[in-house]
Amino acid sequence: MIRAVALVFALLLTSPGPALAAAPDPPAAPDRAELPCVPLPAGQRVLIDMREAPLSDVARVLSCATERNVLFSPAALGGRLVTVISARPVDRRGLVALWRALLASHDLVAERRGAYEVVRPVR
């Protein structure tokens, strides 16, 4: 749970913006359902620093940032930990490329099905 909070705040704290100016200290670890879903504004870039993060938590953060609906079985992503560090800030397109690379590195793929990207194992 603390990792999920750290992921959201890593994304928030590395992107300048008016919403961050008023954010003092991160709150005590809320439930996952209470974590804010923060879209990355068009044209804005963020640094990524996620270490040994559950892939399912990364899916949530990247889904929120890119405003994409992601559907996956917890078993498909469960137990997989990833470390992602960007040397330079990335935009929304870079986050989508990052998501696809993370999936590929775990023999997973996201297929577009209507309004959703369905994550499944590569056949």
pLDDT in tens, 88-120: 999 999 999 999 999 999 999 999 999 999 999
Give the pLDDT of residue 76. Answer: 84
pLDDT of residue 102: 95
pLDDT at 58: 92
The pLDDT tens digits for 66-86 are: 999 999 988 888 789 999 999
Q: What is the pLDDT of residue 77?
A: 84
User: Concatenated DSSP letters for 84-117?
Assistant: EE-SS-B-HHHHHHHHHHHHHHTTEEEEEETTEE
- State phi, psi for 71 to the nearest 5 degrees: -120, 125
User: Do 92 and 66 touch, CB atoms closer than 8 A?
Assistant: yes
Joined together, the tokens standing for residue 42 give: 């068009």
Give the model confidence (pLDDT) of 30-43 as tens digits: 555 556 888 999 99
Can you read off the two tokens belonging to residue 45?
Answer: 């870039």
Q: Give 56 or 10, the one with higher predicted confidence.
A: 56
Counting residues of the chain whose pLDDT is more than 90, the rounded percentage is 61
Domain locations along the chain: 2-121
Q: Is residue 110 within 8 Å of 117, Cβ to Cβ?
A: yes
Give the integer Cα–Cα distance in Å for 63 and 95: 9
CATH architecture designation of domain 2-121? 3-Layer(bab) Sandwich (3.55)
Is the confidence at residue 14, as pLDDT, over 80? no
